[in-house]
Amino acid sequence: MSAPMEIEKKYLVAKCPALDGFKAEVVRQGYITSGEDSIEVRVRQKGQGYYITVKSKGTMARKEYETAIEEGHFKALWPATEGRRLEKTRYTGALPDGAVVELDIFDGHLAGLMLVEVEFASVEEAVGFTAPDWFGADVTEDKRYKNSALAVAPSAPE
């Protein structure tokens, strides 16, 4: 069985769009391993769901395994993430061409930061993507904007 591949690009938000038609969910996530490790292991509460995720090294394309877990498992693992956490509201919607976007507006120590991600079926599709005007700088390759790095940062990158 081959590993599922996550192919995504990440951008700063130049101007927050109207969020009509977007679905909002509060997200709390914490990292059991840091971004400096060869893999990332995180636990996440997204709305009423709980997940554990393992991601390989990489930026635009990397292996990702996500499994739903019970709330009790999440609560048991959450203390292991102390000092490596973030909070955000995720708005999921679609671009005019149908591409799904996830707009994250961060809270807590990252308040004010807004990032948007787009997932793709292939690296070629990602490379050929033209971002809409409301997207800002492409930070896909900037490791400071990886969620695991943001979770331990004292504040949002400048």
Both tokens of residue 20? 């009509």
Q: What pLDDT sits at residue 31?
A: 95
CA separation for the pair 45, 114 (Å, rounded):
19
121 close to 91: Cβ distance less than 8 angstroms: no
pTM: 0.91
Give the residue-averaged pLDDT of 15-27.
Answer: 94
In terms of Cα–Cα distance, which of 144, 123, 51 is closest to 90?
51
- By annotation, the residues acting in catalysis are 31
CA separation for the pair 158, 156 (Å, rounded):
6
Distance between terminal CA atoms of the chain? Answer: 41
Which pLDDT band, with edges at 50, 70 and 90, does 2 fall under? Answer: low
All structural domains of the chain, each given as residue ranges with its CATH number in brackets, are 7-152 (2.40.320.10)
Both tokens of residue 2? 């081959």
Which pLDDT band, with edges at 50, 70 and 90, does 3 fall under? Answer: low
Each residue of 76-125: pLDDT tens digit?
999 999 999 999 999 999 998 889 999 999 999 999 999 999 999 899 99
Give the residue-averaged pLDDT of 52-79.
Answer: 91
Which pLDDT band, with edges at 50, 70 and 90, does 147 fall under? Answer: very high
The answer, yes or no, to whether residue 46 has pLDDT greater than 70, is yes
The answer, yes or no, to whether residue 60 has pLDDT greater than 90, is no
Q: Work out the percent of the chain whose per-residue pLDDT is above 70.
A: 96
Please name every residue paired with 20 in a beta bridge, in sequence order, or none if there are none.
none
